[in-house]
Amino acid sequence: MLEGKKEAVLSLYEKISLDSRHSTVKTLAEGYIANSQFSKWSMHFVHADSSIRQLLADYGFRKFTPFDMPSSVLEHIVTVLSNNGIYERKESKVTSSGLISKMKSLFIKDKTA
């Protein structure tokens, strides 16, 4: 994901696209944002552990296939990654008495990078 002033983002995207180390560069989503999602984030590795696998499963995906995913799913993945792999899963289910019980699960990978 690239964030910044439009001219800077377009310039960097073009540079990446022309770089021989990259192939099949495609834009998955683009648009304007009110606030930077990565302003306090420095480049580091976020392990695609069980939290990302669970998020994909919650949306019905068995693996990361970004070109087959709607932008809402991609945005959710980016949010989880920008939060260092923290994924909060919200579920509601009807109990035997007919009441809805809500459950939250929090997934996080220890920061080692």
Q: How far apart, in whole angstroms, are the C-alpha atoms of residue 58 and residue 88?
A: 11
What local confidence, expressed as pLDDT, does residue 36 receive?
81
What local confidence, expressed as pLDDT, does residue 25 receive?
84
Q: What single-letter DSSP state applies at residue 106?
A: E
What do you get for the CA distance between the two ends of the chain, in Å?
19
What is the pLDDT of the chain when averaged over all its residues?
77
Q: How far apart, in whole angstroms, are the C-alpha atoms of residue 77 and residue 97?
A: 35
Tens digits of per-residue pLDDT, 43-83?
Answer: 666 666 678 888 899 999 988 888 888 888 888 888 888 77
Q: How confident is the model at residue 4 (pLDDT cuts 50, 70, 90)?
A: confident
Which residue matches tokens 């459950």?
Answer: 103
Domain boundaries defined on the chain: 6-107
Exposed/middle/buried for 9, CB within 10 Å: 0-12, 13-18, 19+?
middle
38: nearest Cα among 12, 2, 5: 2
What local confidence, expressed as pLDDT, does residue 60 receive?
93
